């Protein structure tokens, strides 16, 4: 894929160090060589292609950036700017490449951020090497945005936990080596727990694979008297919601980065098409309406990048929570990317809806990002809640 110089221009911003800049450029070059051939055409074997992408990312050392060095052991912190740069860079190439990297980070995020040293040593090196695919299992049929209404339960039985319930819309379901499962503690209405469940646990079964418009591994898992030892609990028992929200607090801004990558690719494709396509004796780029559309697209891309990397930098600078910043980044970047990609399709005209065109693929890939890890509507509630709480605190 030929990347425009403007796709890397933001690396000059003060959010980044020279190490960040080198990382982004080297990853872009490597991905164009090693990942592009895998996704040049719509993959027929989604699971196989996804696994191969994860394995290549791991073997080349890129997945080490999805967990804190040295593999999550204290006192290391995840460098969120690096994760955002990775997802943006891979997102410009293909949604599946971005998702393979992003899910390794999100799926293992509860362990790297809240897990015991034992859990970190057991799982994170295999996540970093690409030998273990991770999954984050929180959503249920009646508990998507309202995660606190989950019905999956965990009861204490001696030194073990026994989990029963069903999780759906789970990314990597069916190919993951382990799942971080969230459940309500029986008898404790407002207490939750997070626990690592290995894929070969006899109490865990993938009951359904879900096919969506932009193919990636997705499915439903059933947990039936699924027994795990107390050592599999992530964080403190009863504080599983803190684990979930703390993990999402970090990774929401990276969803914005992925959509930023999609938008950059759409803008590049639209600009190249406008320069090449002739109509009424002129190039499309000569028409003021085309120029206005391209200007709006470019402005949306830069504004998204500013919000995404503001959130990432704030976290990397030492903030424990970036709830407001991450919600703004995720909301604005995903909604903006949807508009940018739609404008690109419009500029392509009939070609824009032909299967096989890059902008057509991007049109399908972007839609889910406005939903997963908190819908746009939820992000607005989060942002407003933060504003109101801050104002109330100032009045006291």
Query: Looking at residue 146, which CATH number applies to its domain?
Result: 2.40.110.10
Catalytic residues: 373
Domain for residue 258, yes or no?
yes
Residues 216, 101: Cα–Cα separation, whole Å: 13
Neighbours of 198 (CB within 10 A): 15
Residue 338 confidence (pLDDT): 98
The answer to whether residues 108 and 156 belong to one domain is no
**Whether residue 88 is found in the same domain as residue 214:** no
Question: What's the Cα-to-Cα distance from 249 to each of 113, 135, 180, 255, 373, rounded to whole Å?
Answer: 11, 17, 16, 11, 10
Q: Are residues 109 and 187 in the same domain?
A: no
- Residue 350's pLDDT band (cuts 50, 70, 90): very high
297 shares a domain with 177: no
**Could you tell me if residue 54 is inside a domain?**
yes
Q: Are 1 and 29 in contact (CB under 8 A)?
A: no
| Helices and strands in the chain, H and E counts | 11, 10
182 & 82 share domain: no
Q: Are residues 230 and 247 in the same domain?
A: no
Give the residue from 106, 133, 160 where a domain finishes: 133
Q: Is the domain of 250 the same as that of 385?
A: yes
Of 133, 163, 189, which one is at a domain's C-terminal end? 133
Q: What pLDDT is recorded for position 150?
A: 92
Question: In this predicted model, what pLDDT tens digit does every residue of 6-65 receive, in sequence order?
Answer: 677 889 999 999 999 999 999 999 999 999 999 988 888 999 999 999 999 999 999 999
What is the per-residue pLDDT for 76? 61
Is residue 395 in a domain?
no
Residue 185 has pLDDT above 90, yes or no: yes
In a domain, 204, yes or no: yes
What values do phi and psi take at 158, rounded to 5?
65, -130
pLDDT at 187 over 90: no
> Does a structural domain hold residue 394?
no
Mean pLDDT of all residues in 134-161: 90
Q: pLDDT band at 73, cuts 50/70/90?
A: low
Both structure tokens of 274: 């406008």
Count of domains observed in the chain: 3
CB atoms within 10 A of CB 360: 18
What pLDDT sits at residue 74?
A: 52
Judging by DSSP bridges, how do beta strands 233-238 and 278-279 pair with one another?
unpaired
Write out the residue range of the structural domain in which residue 60 sits. Answer: 5-133
Output the pLDDT for position 237.
87
Q: pLDDT for 201-258, tens place per residue?
A: 999 999 999 988 887 899 999 999 999 999 999 999 899 999 999 999 889 999 999 9
Residue 169 has pLDDT above 80, yes or no: yes
Sign of CA dihedral 310, 315, 318, 319: positive
pLDDT value at 152 more than 90: yes
Same domain, 145 and 113: no
Instruction: Pick the last residue of a domain from 87, 112, 133.
Output: 133
pLDDT at 213: 87
Cα–Cα distances (Å) from 27 to 70, 95, 116, in that order, read 20, 15, 31
Average the pLDDT over 332-337 and give the result. Answer: 98
pLDDT tens, residue by residue, 229-241? 999 999 998 999 9
pTM: 0.93
- Do residues 344 and 291 share a domain? yes
* pLDDT tens digit sequence for 276-288: 999 999 999 999 9
Q: What is the rounded distance in angstroms from the CA atom of residue 161 to the CA atom of residue 153?
A: 10
One domain for residues 86 and 148:
no
Q: How confident is the model at residue 310 (pLDDT cuts 50, 70, 90)?
A: very high
Whether 77 shows a pLDDT value over 80: the answer reads: no
| Residue 189, pLDDT score | 73
pLDDT surpasses 90 at 260: yes
Residue 158 lies in a domain: yes
How is residue 276 annotated by DSSP? H
On whether both 72 and 187 belong to a single domain, the answer is: no
Q: What is the structure's pLDDT at 148?
A: 79
* Whether residue 211 has a cis bond before it, omega within 30° of 0: no
User: For residue 119, what is the domain's CATH number?
Assistant: 1.10.540.10
Q: Judge whether 396 lies within some domain.
A: no
pLDDT at 145: 76
For 237-275, letters b (16+ CB in 10 Å) and e give bebbbebbebbbbbbbbbbbbbbbbbbbbbbbbbbebbe
Whether the per-residue pLDDT at 2 is higher than 70: the answer is no
Is residue 23 domain-shared with residue 42, that is, in the same domain? yes
pLDDT at residue 325 in the model: 96
For residue 72, the model assigns a pLDDT of 54
CB 86 within 8 A of CB 31: no
Give one DSSP letter per residue of 218-238, joined into a string: EEEEEEEEEEEEGGGEEEEEE
Q: Is 73 left (phi over 0), alpha (psi -120 to 50) or beta?
A: beta
For the stretch 362-393, pLDDT in tens is: 999 999 999 988 899 999 999 999 999 989 88
């Amino acid at each position: 894929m030929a990347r425009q110089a403007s796709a890397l221009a933001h690396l000059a911003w003060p959010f980044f160090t020279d190490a960040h800049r080198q990382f982004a450029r080297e990853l872009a070059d490597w991905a164009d060589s090693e990942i592009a051939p895998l996704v040049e055409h719509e993959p027929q074997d989604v699971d196989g292609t996804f696994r191969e992408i994860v394995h290549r990312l791991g073997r080349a050392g890129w997945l080490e950036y999805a967990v804190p060095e040295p593999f999550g052991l204290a006192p290391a912190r995840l460098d969120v700017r690096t994760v955002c740069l990775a997802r943006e860079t891979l997102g410009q190439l293909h949604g599946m490449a971005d998702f393979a990297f992003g899910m390794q980070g999100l799926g293992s995020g509860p362990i790297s951020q809240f897990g015991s040293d034992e859990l970190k040593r057991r799982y994170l090196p295999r996540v970093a090497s690409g030998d273990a695919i991770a999954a984050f299992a929180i959503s249920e049929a009646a508990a998507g945005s309202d995660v606190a209404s989950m019905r999956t339960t965990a009861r204490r039985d001696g030194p073990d936990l026994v989990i029963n319930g069903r999780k759906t819309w789970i990314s990597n379901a069916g190919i993951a080596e382990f799942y971080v499962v969230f459940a309500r503690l029986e008898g404790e209405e407002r207490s939750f727990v997070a626990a690592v469940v290995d894929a070969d646990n006899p109490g865990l079964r993938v009951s359904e694979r879900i096919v969506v418009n932009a193919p990636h591994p997705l499915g439903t898992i059933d947990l039936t008297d699924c027994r795990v030892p107390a050592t599999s609990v992530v964080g403190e028992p009863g504080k599983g919601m803190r684990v979930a929200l703390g993990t999402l607090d970090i990774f929401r801004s990276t969803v914005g980065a992925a959509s930023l990558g999609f938008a950059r690719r759409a803008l590049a494709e639209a600009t190249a098409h406008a320069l090449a396509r002739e109509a009424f004796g002129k190039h499309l780029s000569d028409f003021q309406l085309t120029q206005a559309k391209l200007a709006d697209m470019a402005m949306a891309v830069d504004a998204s990048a500013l919000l995404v990397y503001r959130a990432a930098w704030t976290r990397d600078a030492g903030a424990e929570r970036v709830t407001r910043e991450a919600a703004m980044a995720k909301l604005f970047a995903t909604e903006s990317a949807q508009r940018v990609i739609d404008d690109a399709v419009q500029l392509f005209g009939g070609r824009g809806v032909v299967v096989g065109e890059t902008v057509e693929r991007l049109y399908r890939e972007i839609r889910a990002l406005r939903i997963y890890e908190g819908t746009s509507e939820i992000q607005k509630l989060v942002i407003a809640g933060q504003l109101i709480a801050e104002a109330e605190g100032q009045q006291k």
